[in-house]
Structure 1
């Protein structure tokens, strides 16, 4: 199979564009490694299409206004027209709904085999797809989020991006994802990792001119993600704008859980997420669950296990090992809780290797975290087994799955019903927590961000 496609476009202003893409067979490179290459025909710099009509082969020039898709060595299968229509509906439903794109497919050998996808037919096509195949159920959810009068519409203006619009539709069974679009109306990707018990579907649209120019530059040739490192002038600036989009969207999703005064709101499945009484034995908790894994049974908490790196021989007193990420969790609603277990291998304190600083040891503790969404104040219920002095490092899981420090404000300790002010060192370390014996301690703190975060606790005990 050649797996080569050409795209030829002509618009109403008589502007031309042409580009080809091919996926080559697997082959070995000069180093003997097996590779699979993707090639592009067009302007070499930036993988852009050619725009001069004279450079486009005549037999590949678009006949009239629109876009021609030329597939070399097309492998014709039964019902290929329906499959192609489904692909357009899935990836271009915003452009088709807005009327900026119409798709017509006609078989050269059978003039009656004609398929059309327009703003008029789109709703029926998507409904039929969802009825025939369960995998298109989510497409119907996205389309309804775009068009339903019940969808909640939020707009904002972010410097460097311009106008942004988000439509959210609460719906039982939806996948808690947002389809991400630029102004072209082509879906770039689907964003997930929203920590909320509420099931919903959403559509994000960047409508600002400045934002569309920037986001276009962040896309690879496959147009399926935004990569800040592609913004050569300042990848950090591009990353901050992508992060601003994510935080704004999280806030909008969180506000779906805020009912009007006096209104009763039922959230499907919420009973599975409510925490048990803290005095329940921790050892009944199940292992850590990732987004999309089966939910724990009613009455079970969520427990994480971290596996810290092994200390190198001879380095026991000079290497500070915090271990890998655990899985403490906060789902964002008031009273909503998660839990975890911190990992423990021998770490160390600061110093020059001759014992000049305190020696610290990573230890296992069991904990649960809760969040008051209204005040953005966290409560970490931690269970210590041994007496001693402890440092608690608090981290949050970012969109990329990495653990990062979280700013801690106004930390307090609650021991046996008595509240005292906690000491903070640096950005995210609650230091020198004095534990007299086996006990449960509540650690309270606030965060500058109103966005709920998934938290991890890394705990170290002073051994010298």
Structure 2
């Protein structure tokens, strides 16, 4: 008898005299930072692209199972192929780093009794058809090729054919088993592993091997499929072999978060239902409660790519047009077709926008160059728009950039026009939402160098609050707006980083709201704003230190010597954010000269008057009541992290003085 394994075994073809595959996988770089989230995104996206009955939701199941490995002895022959990878590359560090841990899993007999695996199952899908020799059949594209997509929809998500790397990455032995049933009840089965060129029984073998009973061809007869892996209804099971079940709770938690982060719109609109290990059920009826339980914060203050808080964006769509706080704008654009923009107004909002298209999966979330106090959701559901946006995506499907749309070596200019069209629509929607009143909306070139605006997800990836932040280290030009309030910088042109309402002649423009006011004095001769460049004349002559600014001093008993405090002009920008339940303000200073001993005062800008703030802690200098003193300033740029005693966010003004003892 063939046993539970039937007659399946591993087949690796002999390596021909052509280019060989080394011990690495460049495509894994797209998914390694968030393996569970990548798996969720890739698998659900594939299933949504293959829906059978569009009047019913696609149902996904993520389950964690195990089997007795010693009941599948031919499967365990994979161990000798893994050893062959090390034998063929004996001096290659990558080979040892990748394949020695795989061998250890087999040598420890962990898999003999408990071979764990993750099963991803979909329902109400077409399954994956297969026809030998037909390279555009879905089963061939997924199991037996790299870089090939066989989706029949030009707006489908997985258009690159590289998404399967997310499955192999989660397998400690780089192995999956696929079983599918088409809508015509045709059954196909095959296992696959991705190794490198290796030695086996004295012969050189190719990197990719297949587990079946047809000499490396998919099984088409249901009776030859091991019973554990048979499908009874249309859809596909993808089994990721070697999963350590002690990580199940961690995986369930991360998968739940990933589903809510990436597919909340599809679930809310009844297009998707997800079950995770029989303990978490997510559909349009349960998602609101799960969203509140999983993401307690009402605001998205996250900075690390892949970990955004979806709750405010979910609410923006769910509550659209229910009040003046939640608004919806719709239009038909010439290139992108029908689009929507949802706006949620909040004083605490970080002005971020999430971008989605017809498959209702999040593509990315990005800070804007505005300070309105809002969260936005851009959604394009037209076929022609989706065909364009698919071309703008990278293989990981987490960005839209014009440079991603290439025809050979040439960038298709249509992508840049489409992105500009989208940005213009968003900008017009925001202008309608927020009345400008007595404020002036201006475009300031290089503003992103002063505000905290990550320019790419890669820059956000490992950024922590206390580390240096290049995105707020802009270099000043020394030019001041006519009203004395807008300090400007120059930055390099970035063609593939369109912002909201960019100027026609510049691709590097920030959009900001500024009060058209001028600095005022407080009656004691202190300069109230660090943004101006004018001189402040003293109310009384006093004793002057050489220079062009007013000086004050604390005399000694003889009235001749003392400590002189000279007001100095220090360009600066500020922003604030919540960290561990506390409000911190960050002040980016651009001293024009080195200052050995400086002190700073901060004021909260008010409608009638400004209020001096008490400092609770500072990352530099020493705190003394309302003053940060003993501060050394280097010429160029520096950043200070401050917490004020009232634990509130403020629009700040700053005064700076240089202290000298004579």
| TM-score, reference length from structure 1 | 0.49
